[in-house]
Amino acid sequence: MIITKSPAELEFMREAGRVTAAALVAVAAAVRPGVTTGELDELAERVIREAGAVPAFKGYHGFPGTLCTSIDEQVVHGIPGERVLREGEILSVDCGAIVEGYYGDSAMTFPVGKVSGQARRLLAVTRASLEAGIARCVPGMRLHDISAAIQAVAESAGFSVVREYVGHGIGRSMHEDPQVPNYGQAGTGPTLKPGMVLAIEPMINAGAADVRPLDDGWTVVTADGALSAHFEHTVAVTEAGPLILTLE
Ligand code: MG
Ligand code: MG
């Protein structure tokens, strides 16, 4: 069942989104060769707690971090720690915060110093695919209009869409109905209504779509070792159009 949110609930979700965005902005400014993913994690946790909010991922099914930090061929759910970032890598940072019981969820992928042309293009295309999906968050559109828009942008650029992990409804839980795949048939799926809130999160691979989990129980990598990027926003469907909640 898709739970629609009242205007008052959307206000709380906007605040959760604002805090999530503030943490990501702080991390963005700190990403550089030589910094560890653990240091970025501490920074994000500080920003979230100083805002009076709670890190959403910490303790979620036992996850140890405030951030998921996923480098290069790592797709999602990388664990922050002692790993030192190196020039030329790309770093996906996924972050969530809770305000008054409501969740915000957002991710960005950053270049570490100077990166390859392929990496730059992957980041630009993945971000563009998210924007194309967000543009479909309009009452009367169908859920898989979002999915198809993301897929079209990614695949027309020669990249592939991860199937095993998808976006999701979000509210008083981090993961609610519906699932929001990053591939699918336009004109199908539930009709979008005002008050629906979706975490839209394309995970796009430079090589093939296949992924596999690592032995740490969390980190997901591309099967062929090619780069992967991830961008995410929490977006409300409103009469006025898409409202991105995870902005500062
Ligand atoms: Mg996320
Ligand atoms: Mg998410």
Protein residues near ligand 1, an ion, with CB under 5 A: 94, 105, 107, 232
Ligand closest in space to the Cα of 56: 1
- What is the predicted pLDDT for the residue at 223? 98
Are 70 and 90 a contacting pair, CB within 8 Å?
Answer: no
Q: Which ligand is nearest to the CA of 106?
A: 1
From the CA of 84, how far away is ligand 2's center (Å)? 25
For position 9, what pLDDT does the model report?
Answer: 98
pLDDT digits (tens, 9 = 90+) for 75-93: 999 999 999 999 999 999 9
Domain ranges of the chain: 7-243
Instruction: Give the pLDDT of residue 103.
Output: 98
- Stretches where the chain sits below pLDDT 50 are none
CB atoms near residue 39 (< 10 Å): 17
Query: If you measure from the C-alpha of residue 231 to the centroid of ligand 2, how many angstroms do you get, rounded to a whole number?
Result: 10
Q: How many angstroms does the Cα of residue 14 sit away from the middle of ligand 2? A: 16
Quick one: which ligand is closest to 165's CA? 2
Amino acid 54: pLDDT = 98
* C-alpha torsion angle, residues 219, 149, 110, 37 (rounded to 10): -20
Q: What is residue 70's predicted lDDT score, i.e. its pLDDT?
A: 98
User: What Cα–Cα distance (Å) separates residue 97 from each residue in 81, 124, 173?
Assistant: 20, 26, 11
38-41, long-range: CB < 8 A, 24+ apart: 38/80, 38/81, 38/82, 38/83, 40/67, 40/69, 40/80, 40/93, 41/65, 41/66, 41/67, 41/69, 41/80
pTM for this prediction: 0.98
What is the distance between the alpha carbons of residues 101 and 90, in angstroms, rounded to a whole number?
Answer: 32
The CATH number assigned to the domain with range 7-243 reads 3.90.230.10
* Dist. CA 86 → ligand 1 center (Å): 23
